[in-house]
């Protein structure tokens, strides 16, 4: 669950209809009710700096950008502490996730206003 999920989840509990296309978050109310729930879309994050690195989670996989073309990949079902990089064992997953990261980054601002 992400902070992005709070508004859609609270709206679901309150019975408020929202346009899901307008929110990055997802309704995670089933998880709060003790039921299993999977995300429908991956989570991405980076700090507000043009050159900062990107991380992404999709299902059991989490990937971190270390350099311009260097990544670490973790299987969170087997390694929740992110101690064992399995990127060399799963190059197809690294490729798929890095493609999604590039697409996501293309939608971000190119410059950031510093206050």
Q: What is the pLDDT tens value at each position of the chain, 115 positions in all?
A: 778 888 888 888 899 998 877 878 888 888 888 888 888 889 888 887 767 899 999 999 999 999 888 999 999 999 999 999 999 999 999 999 999 999 998 888 777 777 6
Q: Show the domains of the chain with their CATH numbers.
A: 3-32 (no CATH), 43-106 (3.30.1120.10)
- H-type alpha helices, 1-115: 6-14, 29-32, 91-106
Provide the whole-model pTM.
0.76
- Dihedrals φ, ψ of 11, to 5°? -65, -40
d(CA 99, CA 79): 23
- Dihedrals φ, ψ of 36, to 5°? -65, 145
Residues 6+ apart with CB under 8 A from 42: 56, 57, 58, 97, 100
């Amino acid at each position: 669950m992400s902070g992005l999920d709070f508004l859609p989840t609270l709206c679901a509990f309150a019975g408020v209809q929202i346009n899901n296309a307008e929110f990055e978050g997802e309704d995670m109310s089933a998880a709060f009710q003790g039921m299993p729930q999977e995300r429908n879309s991956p989570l991405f994050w980076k700090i507000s700096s043009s050159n900062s690195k990107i991380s992404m989670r999709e299902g059991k996989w989490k990937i971190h950008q270390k350099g311009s073309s260097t990544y670490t990949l973790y299987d969170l079902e087997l390694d929740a502490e992110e101690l064992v990089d399995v990127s060399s064992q799963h190059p197809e997953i690294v490729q798929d996730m890095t493609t999604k990261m590039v697409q996501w980054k293309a939608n971000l601002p190119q410059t950031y206003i510093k206050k």
